[in-house]
Structure formats: structure tokens, C-alpha cells
Amino acid sequence: MCKNIIIRPASNEDVHALYKLMRQYIVDFYQQPDPEEKDLKDLIHHLLDYPISGLQFVAEESKQLVGFATLYFTFSTLKVKRQAILNDLFVAPQKRGKKIGEKLFETCLDYIRKHHFSSMTWETAKDNLVAQSLYNKMGGKLSEWLCYEIS
């Protein structure tokens, strides 16, 4: 279904197209405030310039970006190893149903396994049943840890 899709690490040439996809993810999908273009592009550049902090994979079809995944890197004290947080996984609405999300997820999982990370964790909205279905299908398990947040 996605044989024409290439999954690869993001590059400097992707910044503008990746910005557009990330804005769609933030504003249209999660209905969050529209970020300043400079701030969002600075985040993309940060990941490109400081790969020790994380990386982004992009899904490309016919030289157009159609999805992305963002991994941020931290450490697990309990496992005394690096750990990855899959912070974002997004496929453009018109490209869904082609298993692009699965391919992005598998690429992230392959990356953390190849680089000997302790694990990959992620969150999704309670009402995002489509994402939950994908994560269950990919072998994800609900964590025994509760997630807290404060602003």
C-alpha cells in the first residue's frame, strides 16, 4: 500500500515542507494555537543541528512530504540507558489509510533498537481511537505509569 513512500531522516531541505505539516498537526489536528513560524522552524532546525536531542523522520511520496515522526531523547535512570519519546506521529489526512503511519512507527522502533535505547514511550489523546488502534496493532502496551502535567 505504501510502496511509493520513502521514510528517511529529515534534512535542511525539508524545513519549509515539514513546517507546513507540523503546523497542520498542531493547529488543524490538535486545535492548538498557531505557533509563530520562526519558533516552529527554530524547533526543526534545533533537531537538525543537535541530533543528540532528537530527530525527525519524514514520509515522502513523489518528492512531497506526507507525514512525519519526532523522537526526543532522554535517559531512563531505572534502566541506565537512553530512552526515546515518540512525541509526534502525523500523516496528512488525504494520505491516511496507506499504512504510512505504520511505516513511520516501524522506522522509529528500528532506530531505537539499532541504537540500543532502553525503550520508546509515547502518549496519545484519550479520544484518538485511530492512533490507539495503530499502537495496539504495532505491539504497544499501556504503561503502568501515570502521566502528569503542569503548566
Which DSSP helix (H) or strand (E) runs through 106? helix 100-114
Q: Which among 14, 3, 5 is positioned nearest to 91, based on CA atoms? A: 5
Q: Report the phi/psi class of residue 31: left, alpha or beta, with left for phi > 0 and alpha for psi in -120 to 50.
A: left
Q: Domain boundaries in the chain? A: 5-137
The CATH class of 5-137 is: alpha beta
Strands 120-122 vs 64-76: parallel, antiparallel or unpaired? unpaired
Q: Which among 87, 72, 108, 85 is positioned nearest to 30, based on CA atoms? A: 87
Burial 46-62 (b: 16+ CB within 10 A, else e): ebbeeeeebbbbbbbbe
Instruction: Give me the tens of pLDDT residue by residue for the chain, a chain 151 residues long.
Output: 567 999 999 999 999 999 999 999 999 999 999 999 999 999 999 999 999 999 999 999 999 999 999 999 999 999 999 999 999 999 999 999 999 999 999 999 999 999 999 999 998 888 888 888 889 888 899 888 888 888 7
Predicted structure pTM score? 0.91
Q: Which residues pair with 57 in a beta bridge?
A: 9, 69
pLDDT at 125: 85
